């Protein structure tokens, strides 16, 4: 609803609408906020359910399952983000018709179609590797230190199979998001989050134990299939069946961006997902469960930054394709200040929650890390919010100049997590993480952000993804 419509029909909505516009809240952002709000509400509830219905050892397996499953990034190679950015640049010459079909420039349609078709082949192979590789690799990892009282084998194998199938469908969602159907995607993600949480909590409460994880994954798979077939069937069918003319050159237009981004994404696993497996290996499932539960709160906080920024990534790409850099920068700076304020407030709320648990001597407090590592991780999340904002802005140009920063960060954080985590436990791992992000991650990202923004936006500058990274770093 516009301001004029509200003024004429619903004057009592004028103030809320003005506030939403002031804080850059459109339909896509609103659905994203609803999704993150749902995570904020149900995150503590899920933690309570896990603490109540799973043993300390089962909790450790639960969170370690999720961390090991994150290894699928090694076959996905950041392609989802690449698809969003590349599709957004093609969508400038296309539009969605009322019946759901695609209209506009035939060459752009052909190029977009070729992008999706190649991505589907890639993800089918990647999903198969996830099913086979994680099933076998996870089996050997979890049997390294036997826990005969924990039934984990069948739940793990089922989880790997369903996760692999879900991965095969992911390029459809990336291309839909990249074609500026952001409100539709984030509305669905809200529904998906509700269904996933319901399946997980009900499964745990009804005594399914670790089987609740594959049950929740199956719920997500069914929702994915219903959403694509009901909401975007005509869109997907047109892209997968239309006659191809001009095609995107994967080697020249996508791969130079993807391989750099993939290294950054692989680095992300060692930056974030390594904590729980290291605690599991050196300090047992109980400490791994404490680390995993605390990191789940950090994940909830981290996703807040995406409520405003990620939904605007296709819009960033379209503005860049039009070379409207003034509007791009104005929008970006408004979103960054809003996001930083929200994340800082969320960090204070989480700290208060943990303080209540510990000072009130609630039983659930023993399932969380102590205050010092929690404070260190919260500080890191605020730093990471700024880094993610700059990364989203730069990658909207279909380029990845942060590869070296990501690789060095992964090496430093991986080594500190392994060494300090093995010796000093969660506090050592959290301290290393915070210091490295503060001393290395943030300053280096800021330097590259300023330099690339200046170079790329000069009159006559080109944005070919083949430009060497050294030229901008």
Domain coordinates in residue numbering, the chain: 24-471
Q: Give the residue among 43, 48, 35, 66 at the shortest CA–CA distance from 134.
A: 66
**Closest to 39 (Cα-Cα) out of 182, 186, 190:** 190
The answer to whether 165 touches 221, Cβ cutoff 8 Å, is yes
pLDDT (tens digit per residue) in 291-347: 988 988 888 788 776 677 877 888 898 899 888 999 999 999 988 988 899 899 989
pLDDT of residue 461: 62
Reading the block at residue 111, the tokens are 């190029």
d(CA 341, CA 434): 19
Q: Residues 58, 63, 64, 70: what is their CA dihedral angle, to the nearest 10 degrees? A: 150
91: exposed, middle or buried (Cβ count in 10 Å: 0-12, 13-18, 19+): buried
Cα 16 from Cα 27, distance rounded (Å): 14
Q: What's the pLDDT score for residue 25?
A: 64
The pLDDT score that the predictor gives to residue 166 is: 94
Give per-residue pLDDT as tens, 49-103.
Answer: 888 888 888 888 888 888 888 888 788 877 888 898 899 889 989 999 998 899 9
Instruction: Dump pLDDT digits (tens) for 131-155.
Output: 999 999 999 988 877 677 788 899 9
Angle CA 363–367–368, to nearest 5: 115
Low-confidence ranges of the chain (pLDDT < 70): 1-26, 40, 146, 269-270, 305-306, 460-473
For residue 103, the SS3 value is strand
Q: How far apart are CA 294 and CA 427, in angstroms?
A: 12
Answer yes or no: are the C-beta atoms of 78 and 173 closer than 8 Å: no
Global model pTM greater than 0.75: no
Distance CA 295, CA 285 (A): 15
């Amino acid at each position: 609803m516009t301001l004029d419509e509200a003024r004429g029909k619903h004057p009592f909505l004028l103030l809320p609408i003005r506030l939403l516009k002031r804080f850059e809240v459109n339909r896509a952002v609103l659905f994203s906020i609803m999704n993150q709000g749902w995570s904020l509400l149900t995150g503590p509830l899920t933690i309570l359910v896990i603490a109540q219905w799973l043993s300390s050892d089962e909790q450790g397996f639960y969170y370690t399952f999720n961390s090991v499953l994150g290894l699928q990034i090694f076959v996905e190679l950041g392609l989802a983000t690449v698809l969003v950015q590349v599709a957004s640049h093609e969508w400038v010459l296309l539009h969605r018709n009322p019946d759901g079909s695609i209209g506009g420039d035939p060459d752009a349609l052909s190029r977009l179609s070729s992008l999706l078709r190649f991505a589907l082949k890639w993800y089918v192979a990647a999903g198969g590797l996830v099913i086979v590789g994680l099933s076998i690799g996870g089996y050997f990892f979890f049997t390294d230190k036997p826990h005969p009282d924990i039934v984990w084998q069948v739940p793990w194998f089922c989880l790997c199979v369903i996760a692999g199938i879900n991965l095969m469908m992911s390029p459809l969602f990336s291309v839909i998001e990249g074609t500026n159907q952001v409100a539709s995607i984030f509305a669905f993600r809200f529904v998906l989050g509700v269904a996933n949480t319901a399946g997980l909590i009900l499964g745990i409460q009804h005594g399914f134990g670790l089987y609740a994880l594959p049950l929740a994954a199956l719920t997500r798979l069914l929702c994915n299939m219903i959403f694509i077939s009901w909401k975007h069937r005509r869109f997907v069918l047109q892209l997968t069946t239309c006659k191809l003319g001009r095609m995107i050159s994967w080697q020249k237009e996508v791969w130079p961006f993807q391989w750099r981004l993939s290294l950054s994404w692989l680095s992300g696993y060692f930056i974030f997902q390594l904590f729980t497996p290291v605690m599991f290996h050196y300090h047992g499932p109980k400490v791994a469960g404490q680390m995993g539960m605390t990191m789940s709160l950090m994940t909830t906080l981290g996703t807040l930054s995406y409520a405003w920024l990620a939904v605007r990534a296709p819009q960033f790409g379209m503005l860049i394709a039009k070379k409207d850099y003034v509007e791009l920068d104005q929008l970006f700076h408004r979103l960054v200040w809003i996001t930083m304020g929200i994340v800082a407030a969320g960090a204070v709320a989480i700290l208060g929650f943990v303080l209540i648990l510990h000072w009130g001597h609630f039983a659930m407090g023993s399932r969380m890390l102590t205050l010092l590592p929690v404070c260190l991780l919260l500080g890191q999340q605020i730093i990471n919010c700024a880094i993610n904002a700059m990364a989203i802005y730069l990658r909207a140009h279909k380029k990845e100049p942060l590869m070296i920063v990501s690789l060095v960060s992964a090496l430093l954080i991986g080594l500190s997590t392994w060494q300090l985590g093995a010796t000093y436990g969660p506090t050592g791992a959290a301290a290393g993480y915070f210091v490295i992000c503060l001393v290395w991650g943030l300053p280096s990202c800021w330097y590259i952000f300023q330099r690339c923004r200046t170079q790329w936006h000069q009159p006559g500058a080109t944005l070919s993804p083949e430009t060497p990274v050294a030229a901008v770093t």
